[in-house]
Chain A
Amino acid sequence: MAWLARLGAPVRGFLEFLGDQAHLVVRTLLSGLALRMDQLAVVGAQTKLQVRFTGLDALWLVSGTALLLGAVTLIQAFTQLSGLGAESYIGVLMVLIILRELGPLLTAVLVIGRSSTAIAAELGSMQLNDEVDALAAHGVNPYQYLLLPRWVGVLVSVFVLVVFFDTAALAGGFLVAHLKYGVSFGYFMDSVRQALSNRDFMATLVKVVLFSGAITFHAAHFGLRIRRSQTEIPQAVTKTVVTALLAVFLLDGFVAALFYF
Chain B
Amino acid sequence: MLKTRDLALDAPDGGLLLTGLNLEVPPGGNLVLAGPSGCGKSRLLKVIAGTERPRAGAVAIGGVAIWPGKGVFTLAGQVRVGLAFARGGLLANLSLQDNVALPLRFQGLPMAQVEARVAAALERFGLARVAGLRPHAVSECARRFANLARVLALEPALVLLDDPLGGLEARDRASALGLLEHWASDPVCTLVITAEDPSLFSSLNATHLQLSQATHVQEPS
A residues lining the B interface (CB < 8 Å)? 36, 38-39, 41-42, 125-126, 128-141, 145, 227-228
Other CB < 8 Å A-B pairs besides A131-B89, A131-B91, 20 of them?
Answer: A42-B102, A129-B90, A129-B92, A130-B88, A133-B49, A133-B52, A134-B85, A134-B89, A134-B90, A134-B91, A135-B102, A136-B50, A137-B50, A137-B83, A138-B82, A138-B103, A138-B106, A139-B80, A140-B106, A227-B12
**Residue numbers in A under 8 Å from B89 (CB-CB):** 129-131, 133-134
**Contacting pair B88 A136 (CB below 8 A):** no
Interface status of B76 (Cβ within 8 A of chain A): yes
Majority secondary structure of chain A interface residues (helix, strand, loop or mixed): helix
The tally of residues in B whose CB lies under 8 Å from a CB in A reads 31
Type the 1/0 row for B107-145, where 1 means its CB is closer than 8 Å to any CB of A: 110000000000000000000000000000000000000
- Contacts A126-B92, A130-B85, A131-B89; is A139 near B12 (CB within 8 Å)? no
List, in ascending order, chain A residues with CB within 8 A of B102's CB. 42, 135, 138, 140
Q: A38-B108, A130-B88 are contacts. A228–B50 as well, Cβ < 8 Å? A: no
B53 within 8 A of A: no
Given contacts A130-B85, A133-B46, whether A140 and B103 have CB atoms under 8 Å apart is yes
Residue with the greatest number of chain B CB neighbours at <10 A, chosen from A129, A135, A136, A138:
A138
- Shortest A70–chain B CB gap in Å is 37
Residue from A39, A128, A135, A227 having most chain B Cβ neighbours under 10 A: A135
- A41–B160 CA distance with the chains assembled, in angstroms: 29
Chain B 73-85, CB-CB to A under 8 Å as 1, else 0, gives 1011100111101
B77 partner residues in chain A, CB cutoff 8 A: 139
Q: Are B72 and A137 in contact (CB under 8 A)?
A: yes
State which of B87, B88, B150 has its C-beta within 8 Å of the C-beta of A138: B150
Could you count the A-B residue pairs with CB atoms below 8 Å apart for me: how many are there?
A: 80
Q: Give the nearest-CB partner of B106 in chain A.
A: A140
CA of A49 to CA of B221 in the docked complex: distance in angstroms?
Answer: 51
User: Is B182 positioned at the interface, with any CB of A under 8 Å from its CB?
Assistant: no
Determine if B51 is an interface residue (Cβ-Cβ < 8 Å). yes
Residue in A36, A139, A141 with the greatest tally of chain B CB atoms within 10 Å: A139
The answer to whether B154 touches A138 (Cβ under 8 A) is yes
Chain B residues near A39: list those with CB within 8 A: 105-106, 108
Are B106 and A42 closer than 8 Å at their CB atoms? yes
- Chain A residues near B106 (CB, 8 Å)? 39, 42, 138-141, 145
A126: chain B residues within 8 A (beta carbon): 91-92
Q: Which residue of A lies closest to B81 (CB)?
A: A137
From A137, A139, A141, A228, name the one whose CB has the most chain B CB atoms within 10 angstroms. Answer: A137
Of all chain B residues, the one with the shortest Cβ separation from A132 is: B51
- Distance of A238 from chain B, by nearest CB (Å): 22
The minimal Cβ–Cβ distance linking A225 to chain B, given in whole angstroms, is: 14
Task: Digitize B45-81: 1 where CB-to-A-CB distance is under 8 Å, 0 elsewhere.
Answer: 0100111100000000000000000001101110011
The 30 listed contacts between A and B (C-beta, < 8 Å) are A36-B108, A39-B105, A39-B106, A42-B106, A125-B92, A128-B88, A129-B92, A130-B89, A131-B90, A131-B92, A133-B83, A133-B89, A134-B83, A134-B89, A134-B90, A134-B91, A135-B91, A136-B73, A137-B49, A137-B82, A138-B81, A138-B82, A138-B83, A138-B103, A138-B106, A139-B75, A139-B106, A141-B76, A141-B106, A227-B12
B37 to chain A, nearest CB (A): 16
Measured CA separation A137–B74 after assembly (Å): 11
Would you give the shortest CB distance from B90 to chain A, in whole angstroms? 7
Kindly list chain A residues whose C-beta atoms are within 8 Å of the C-beta of B103.
138-140
